A and B are shown apart, each in its own frame.
Chain A
């Protein structure tokens, strides 16, 4: 079946540190891949996406590259800020699934000043 696996959390970093959050997927065919973020007290919102192999999604200094060969979509940011503290979810939509997202478990990121 289609699934998404995220690295175990939580993650705590100091401001300006480099961030990597790992995500791998299993799917039939080539899914679209997403990172969603949930800031404290807010709803889930789309952070970035990639729809085909080797695409790079980017937004707010975050990047993720769709790697078909390793079935991965790791999230990176060169210098995190306190305001990046949130829960991050990796997700996929298999081809033809009518936008039916399959999410990973999520990981909590805390950034210290």
Chain B
């Protein structure tokens, strides 16, 4: 399809397990963002890539969170030793340009539940 694709759609992990969340952006989109959305809250910025370069990771809540985009297209968000407070919807978004105000296209998200 033409949109941003995220997988899996749902993930249940036991506390302490590692998880990997995948994002396939729209083909050719330069910029890629990860957001975390807790229940009843707005999305909060985690990290930003321009092509393969991670230009901003100021929103990552701890060193258990790691994101990569090695070839400038698909991105993976990895969470090590998951905790209950990591339960949230993780959103990926991409945009065609580098410029400020370039429109963002969001995926449907991955809902992570840590038990």
Contact = CB atoms under 8 A, between A and B. Distances in A.
B41 interface: yes
B56 interface: yes
A45 B44 contact: no
Nearest to A103: B42
A100 B95 CA distance: 11
A32 B104 CA distance: 13
A100 B102 CA distance: 10
Interface stretch (B14-22, B74-82, B105-113): B105-113
B48 A100 contact: yes
A74 interface: no
Contacts of A95: 100
| Interface size class, chain B | 20 to 34
A91 B91 CA distance: 15
Given A51-B101, A99-B101, A45 B41 contact: no
Contact of B3 (A43, A93, A96, A99): A43
A97 B104 CA distance: 14
B107 A43 contact: yes
A69 to B, nearest CB: 23
A50 to B, nearest CB: 11
B70 interface: no
Interface in A77-113: 89, 91, 93, 95-106
A99 B33 contact: yes
Nearest 3 pairs of A and B residues by beta carbon: A103-B42, A44-B106, A43-B106
